[in-house]
């Protein structure tokens, strides 16, 4: 009802303006963009009734030395989205809500957004009503702000479950799965009550104890799965292992849970010299292409703030994941993403070609 009233008022104001200005009323219809209709079934995601295969990159508002968003020229973000469109990318996955101006820009370039709207983590008290209500308030504030925005594809309500990278280690050392699931489901339920029209996801680490947290209630299952990586810091890669991991995701999602499955993080850091980033990323996308509802490559640009001095790029794996560098010069991963995503058919989900490495 709120959405209907909002649309009516918006249309009325536009009509009133046009009648007083002499502008053709038909032109007004293009000014008020409606949110896309997002639906999903046991395997796929659809936008306005059309199959939508997620061809994504993880995205943060970072540029060179760590700076406040407002201090970076807006042209940086516009260049990002223009380069993404040229590479065949159709989705960005965020780790925090985007400013409305950037959401508008994403829509201008035809990009959908998987927006992370709250962030439970290793320090969250999963038996705390106060922590729960705080996360719900945060999530609902952004849902109410953005649910009518045409760029929104879905909401994400956690990343890297079970947070084994945190100082405290896996949350399953402190809490049982039932407690964690009940806590997170309350966040999910609150979001769905406010916005039943967009799917909700969360991203779990494939192969970890707890990789199934949220499976019972999430609409879309997400996995951080750097498929095929056999040696994290030296950059070992196995295509056979990549295919095995992707098949596991397909089995979990389409066969066991009967829900769409997304690889929400995969990629190859240029800190690793064993293989070229482009060669590995292309193999990862191709291995996944026919078995999941989409792939998000981690990440768009190098981040200088993850491992040391934010004013310089440190010699550390975490600061070299971008398919472009901090100043948007293309790395080999950019071309590979463009080629591999271009081979995935979005109308009849499949990959045209043979996966080789």
Structure tokens of 98?
């985007």
User: CA distances (Å), 232 to each of 67, 124, 172, in order?
Assistant: 29, 27, 23
- pLDDT at residue 78, as a whole number: 98
Residue 185 predicted with pLDDT over 50: yes
Residue 95 predicted with pLDDT over 90: yes
Query: What CATH number is given for 38-347 in this structure?
Result: 3.20.20.80
Q: How do residues 1-31 score in pLDDT, each as one tens digit?
A: 444 444 444 444 333 433 444 444 444 444 4
Residue 231 predicted with pLDDT over 90: yes
Mean pLDDT of the chain: 90
Domain-wise residue ranges, the chain: 1-32, 38-347
Residue 258 predicted with pLDDT over 90: yes
Lookup result for tokens 């990629």: 267
**Predicted confidence band at 67 (pLDDT cuts at 50, 70, 90)?**
confident
> Are the CB atoms for 89 and 111 separated by under 8 Å?
yes
> Are the CB atoms for 151 and 93 separated by under 8 Å?
no
**Predicted confidence band at 168 (pLDDT cuts at 50, 70, 90)?**
confident
- pLDDT at residue 15, as a whole number: 37
Length reported for the chain: 357
Q: Provide the b/e sequence for 71-100 (b: ≥16 CB within 10 Å).
A: eeeeebbeebbebbeebbbbbbbbeebbee
Scanning 96-156, the segments in alpha helix (DSSP H) are 100-108, 129-146
- pLDDT at residue 344, as a whole number: 84
Please indicate whether residue 356 or residue 303 has the higher confidence score (pLDDT).
Answer: 303
> Are the CB atoms for 104 and 74 separated by under 8 Å?
no
Give the mean pLDDT of 62-83.
93
Structure tokens of 131?
């922590």
Instruction: Compute the chain's Rg from CA coordinates.
Output: 21
The percentage of the chain sitting over the pLDDT mark of 90, rounded to a whole number, equals 80
- pLDDT at residue 19, as a whole number: 42
Angle between helices 177-194 and 129-146 (to 10 degrees): 30
- pLDDT at residue 356, as a whole number: 57
**Predicted confidence band at 167 (pLDDT cuts at 50, 70, 90)?**
confident
Vertex 324, ends 320 and 326: CA angle to 5°? 65
Q: How do residues 319-336 score in pLDDT, each as one tens digit?
A: 999 999 999 999 999 999
**Predicted confidence band at 225 (pLDDT cuts at 50, 70, 90)?**
very high
- pLDDT at residue 355, as a whole number: 52
Lookup result for tokens 């009133």: 16
């Amino acid at each position: 009802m709120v959405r209907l009233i909002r649309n009516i008022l918006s249309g009325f104001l536009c009509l009133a303006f046009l009648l007083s200005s002499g502008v053709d009323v038909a032109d007004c219809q293009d000014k008020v963009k409606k949110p896309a209709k997002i639906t999903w079934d046991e395997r796929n995601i659809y936008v306005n009734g059309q199959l939508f295969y997620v061809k994504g990159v993880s995205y943060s508002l970072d540029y060179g030395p760590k700076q406040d968003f407002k201090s970076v020229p807006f042209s940086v973000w516009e260049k990002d989205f223009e380069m993404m469109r040229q590479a065949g990318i159709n989705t960005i996955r965020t780790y925090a809500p985007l400013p409305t101006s950037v959401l508008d820009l994403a829509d201008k370039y035809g990009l959908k957004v998987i927006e992370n709207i709250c962030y439970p983590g290793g320090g969250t008290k999963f038996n705390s009503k106060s922590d729960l209500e705080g996360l719900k308030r945060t999530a609902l504030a952004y849902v109410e702000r953005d649910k009518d925005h045409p760029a929104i594809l879905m909401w994400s309500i956690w990343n890297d479950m079970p947070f084994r990278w945190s100082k405290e280690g896996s949350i399953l050392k402190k809490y049982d799965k039932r407690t964690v699931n009940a806590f997170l489901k309350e966040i999910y339920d609150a979001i769905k009550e406010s916005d039943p029209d967009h799917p909700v996801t969360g991203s779990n680490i494939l192969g970890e104890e707890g990789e199934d947290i949220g499976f019972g209630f999430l609409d879309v299952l997400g996995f951080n799965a750097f498929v095929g990586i056999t040696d994290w810091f030296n950059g070992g890669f196995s295509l056979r292992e990549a295919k095995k991991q992707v098949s596991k995701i397909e089995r979990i999602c389409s066969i066991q849970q009967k829900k769409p499955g997304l690889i929400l993080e995969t990629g190859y850091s240029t800190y690793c010299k064993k293989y070229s980033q482009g060669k590995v990323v292309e193999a990862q996308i191709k291995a996944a292409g026919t078995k999941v509802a989409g792939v998000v490559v981690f990440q768009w640009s190098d981040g200088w703030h993850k491992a040391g001095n934010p004013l310089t790029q440190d010699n550390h794996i975490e600061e070299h994941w971008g398919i472009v560098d901090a100043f948007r010069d293309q790395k080999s991963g950019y071309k590979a993403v463009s080629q591999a995503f271009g081979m995935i058919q979005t109308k009849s989900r499949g990959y045209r070609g043979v996966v080789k490495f």
